[in-house]
A and B are shown apart, each in its own frame.
Chain A
Amino acid sequence: MPQKFVSVSISHRRAPVAVRERLSMSEAEVRSLLEQIKDSVVREAVLVSTCNRTELYALPNDGSITGDHLIELILTAKAIPFDEREEYKDYFERQTYDAAMTHLFSVIAGIDSQIVGDQQIFAQVKDAFRLSSESGSTGGFLTKLAHAAFRVAKRVISETTLTNGAATISYAAVEFARKIYDDLKPRAILVIGAGETGELAAKHFIERNAGAITIANRNVEKAREMVARIAPEGLAGRFTTVSLEELGNALAKADIIVSATASHDYVITEPMMRAALKRRASKNPVVLIDIAVPRDIDPAISKLSNVFLKDIDDLRTIVDRNLDRRKQEIPKAEEIIKQELENFLQSLSRLEVGPTIKELRDRFEAVRKEELERHQNKLDSKSFALMEDMSRRMMNRLLHSPTVSLKEPLGSTEEMLTRVEIVRQLFGLDSRQDHEPRTY
């Protein structure tokens, strides 16, 4: 039954990165764990594992399986020593039924992400459901839940601005450049520095369909390694690497320059830029973005004509503004989650009621027939017909009240599902489910 649905989650909200790292799972590990617990512990399960969270959502085989059992399974799968397990367990959040569903919806909508409105999580949750499906761990319930979750994510993207605007400095750098140049394809881009920030900026430029990208670094070999990491297949020809000694030539050709080195001195000085502008064939403006601390680009360059220079503080203004606005959108996203959860639970309850009534009638009919057959030989045909008729009427009258009660949309969806659950338990209708999962 859906009431048994449970989730266990370890995420950036409670756990430090060292703990999250140890519990992060590869695709192979996820498959292995799902295959291991399928049937023996859970009827259906999905496991979401990213750098910021590891979460298991499951519909256990029976009510005795709790969140703590599932946490134990994750810790065992990651070979966490027994003496450390108690500490790990404290970092986990455990939720059941609608709270677990709400949590999944919040995760996929991006409101539970470290950077609110992160869109990557949508693809990551989708991948998790794909993996679960491929491992045979999704049945009717999780398939339906997945569709509801995807609907939440799509509505949040289309009906709110939760995912709008750059939320990281490197992305803001690219978005700023796009405010000057709409189309990055014909533009010459120069990224100075082959470190993590430079690499992120280069990746964002690639995502935005940038054309030629030059990577300049003191150690050219490191720049080449970076190109090998980030260049999309078949597009390595778009990348050039140069050393900082050749920076003057690269500056003269570039339309957009992003600098992210660890240098303590200016990498681009005012005379260097002035000389580069003189040699420049194009009359387009030059966009310089300095995302290094300490700064790489001499601020005096901003006084030169046809130049836009922004540093990390300027970009932080953009990021902070976007993050503030994203946070303001959270109530709208929560409202969407609430609506979709209610819709989901209602559709579940509708799907629960019909089969339960049918099973109840079948059970009564079977008992009636069994008893009639037992007495068939003791009665003449006229009396048997009378008994047959009387028992049917009696059965119908006895079933009328529970049937009406089940069908009536009284109380909340949860109350409806509880009524269904009580009827199933009272009349022993649960036995079938262990062998034959209901399809939704």
Chain B
Amino acid sequence: MFPDLCLFSAFSMETLTQAFQILLPLVYAGLVAYFGRSFFRSGNAEWRLKFAVPAAYLALLLHGIYIGAYTALNHHDLVATVSELSSLIAFTLFAVYVFAELRPSKETSGTGFFVTAVSFLLQTISSFTIGSVTMPVTKAILQDPIFNAHVTTSVFGYAALILAAIYGGLYLLLYRVIQRNEFGAIFEHIPSLERLERFGLRSTAVGFFFLTISIVLGGRLYHTYAPEAGVLQLLADPKVMMTLLVWFVFGVTLLAGRVMHVEGRRLVLFWMSGFALTVVSMMIVNAIGTQFHSFL
């Protein structure tokens, strides 16, 4: 009756997600090449502008479709395994970059290359491992929208943290290049120190906002799913400790930057050491356990 529709239904959701798992690394690889070309080769800014924003939106749209299809297929968001989280972080990182820098500043500075490179790496890891990694236990909590919101906001928070770290890294790189009089591609294409600091602080603010929401939602989930556990047990949980630590680092960075007016390299070094601390804690936490939280 409707051959196209029949064909579409034959093209199952599973096939669609599998196709996207191949397509998305290619899309991000294309973006890395595109932003890399802008970064390493002196070219026309207008040409870069012309395609950067539409290309970024297209990538976000495709990744969004993938997340939607995957969620529909598995009945939960991409929050249950490291592979799923990698894909979600790749998406959120790029989304935060697009909406924090690319769209408002209307230019594709060197940052785009570094951000897309990280997104590409994360999505590639996800695509390669997602098929082989299975959820150990399917819990009812995975179906809870508050839980999904809790994890998604955390991921947004961590993505913003990664982005702030990229800005911080670029800041320190440019600082070093200027001090050493190495006026090459990095000097030419990386945005000014002032702008990197501003974008870094903005990302920190975004991360702080999402993590605050995530912590509040986490508190709510804690009351629902582990009412018998005490506050000490909650605070002793490695993931809670780590999240609170990251939230604290974000908060102090914002306080230092916005209220105490600490500026420049000192502020960047502070948030970069916070980031390093977070990475180390994350590695320790992941080594300790694979469960969501010890009390669940």
* Interface residue ranges, A against B (CB under 8 Å): 158-161, 164-165, 178-183, 283-285, 306, 308, 310, 314, 317-318, 321, 325
Contacts and interface: CB of A to CB of B under 8 A. Distances in A.
B181 A179 contact: no
A205 to B, nearest CB: 15
Nearest to B260: A283
A283 B42 contact: no
Contacts of A159: 44
A233 B44 CA distance: 33
B261 interface: yes
B194 A180 contact: yes
Interface stretch (B154-162, B185-193, B244-252): B185-193
A306 B43 CA distance: 33
Given A159-B44, A182-B191, A321-B184, 16 more contacts: A158-B46, A158-B47, A160-B44, A161-B43, A164-B42, A179-B178, A179-B187, A180-B192, A180-B194, A181-B193, A182-B194, A284-B263, A285-B263, A310-B181, A314-B181, A317-B183
Given A180-B192, A182-B192, A321-B183, A283 B47 contact: no
B173 interface: no
B264 interface: yes
B217 interface: no
A203 B46 CA distance: 26
A159 to B, nearest CB: 6
B103 interface: no
B40 to A, nearest CB: 13
B-side interface size class: 20 to 34
Nearest to A306: B264
- Greatest chain A CB density within 10 A among B184, B193, B198, B265 is at B193
B195 A283 contact: no
A182 B195 contact: yes
A179 B42 contact: no
Classify the interface of chain B: helix, strand, loop or mixed: helix
Nearest to A284: B263
Interface in B231-269: 261-265
B264 A284 contact: yes
Instruction: List the 8 shortest-distance A-B pairs measured between CB atoms, nearest first.
Output: A182-B192, A161-B42, A182-B195, A182-B194, A283-B263, A318-B183, A181-B194, A158-B44
Interface of B: 42-44, 46-47, 174, 178-179, 181, 183-184, 187-188, 191-195, 198, 261-265
Contacts of B42: 161, 164, 325
Contact of A180 (B43, B44, B46, B193): B193
Contacts of A314: 181
A165 B262 CA distance: 32
Contacts of B187: 179
6 contacts: A159-B44, A179-B174, A180-B178, A283-B263, A306-B265, A310-B181
B261 A308 contact: no
A181 B193 CA distance: 7
Contacts of B263: 283-285
A260 B179 CA distance: 21
Contacts of B188: 165
Contacts of B44: 158-161
A340 B277 CA distance: 59
A256 B60 CA distance: 41
Contacts of A178: 192
B192 A181 contact: yes
A318 B192 CA distance: 16
A317 B261 contact: no
A321 B184 CA distance: 8
B178 A283 contact: no
Contacts of B192: 178-182
Contacts of A325: 42
Nearest to A158: B44
Contacts of A284: 263-264
A164 B185 CA distance: 13
B7 to A, nearest CB: 44
A306 B184 CA distance: 23
Given A158-B44, A179-B193, A285 B264 contact: yes
Contacts of B262: 283
A59 to B, nearest CB: 34
Contacts of A306: 264-265
Contacts of B183: 317-318, 321
A233 to B, nearest CB: 29
Nearest to A183: B194
Nearest to A186: B194
Given A182-B194, A283-B262, A317 B178 contact: no
B261 A283 contact: yes
Contacts of A317: 181, 183
A311 to B, nearest CB: 10
A387 B129 CA distance: 94
Contacts of A180: 178, 192-194
B191 A283 contact: no
A161 B44 CA distance: 7
A412 B265 CA distance: 63
Contacts of B193: 179-181, 285
A161 B41 CA distance: 10
Contacts of B46: 158
Nearest to A178: B192
